[in-house]
Amino acid sequence: MHAEKNNLKIVAGIDAGSTTTKALILDSTGKILSYHILNTGSAYWETVKECLSKALEASNLNWSNLNYVVATGYGRKLVNFANLELTEISCCAYGVAKVFPEVRMIIDIGGQDSKIIHVDRDGFVINFVLNDKCAAGTGRFLELIACSLGIPVEDLGKLAIRSTKIIEVSNVCAVFAESEVVSLRAAGADKADIVAGVCRAIARRIVGFVGQIGLKTPIVVCGGVAKNLGVIRALEEKLNTKVLVPREPQLMSALGAAIRGLEELGFLKVKVDATKLIL
Binding site for ligand ADP (CB under 6 A): 17-20, 110-112, 139-140, 142-143, 153-154, 157, 223-225, 227-228, 250
CB of 274 to ligand ADP, least distance (A): 17
Q: Which C-beta is closer to ligand ADP: that of 14 or that of 32?
A: 14
Q: Which C-beta is closer to ligand ADP: that of 147 or that of 173?
A: 147
Residue nearest to ligand ADP (CB): 224
Q: Which C-beta is closer to ligand ADP: that of 3 or that of 89?
A: 89
CB of 153 to ligand ADP, least distance (A): 5
**How far is the C-alpha of 101 from the C-alpha of 146, rounded, in Å?**
35
SS3 readout for the chain = CCCCCCCCCEEEEEEECCCEEEEEEEECCCEEEEEEEEECCCCHHHHHHHHHHHHHHHCCCCHHHCCEEEEECCCHHHCCCCCEECCHHHHHHHHHHHHCCCCCEEEEECCCCEEEEEECCCCCEEEEEEECCCCCCCHHHHHHHHHHHCCCHHHHHHHHCCCCCCCCCCCCCHHHHHHHHHHHHHCCCCHHHHHHHHHHHHHHHHHHHHHHHCCCCCEEEECHHHHCHHHHHHHHHHHCCCCECCCCHHHHHHHHHHHHHHHHCCCCCCCCECHHHHC
CB of 118 to ligand ADP, least distance (A): 20
CB of 79 to ligand ADP, least distance (A): 14
CB of 3 to ligand ADP, least distance (A): 28
Q: Which C-beta is closer to ligand ADP: that of 122 or that of 154?
A: 154
Q: Which C-beta is closer to ligand ADP: that of 10 or that of 258?
A: 258
CB of 92 to ligand ADP, least distance (A): 10
Q: Which C-beta is closer to ligand ADP: that of 10 or that of 243?
A: 243
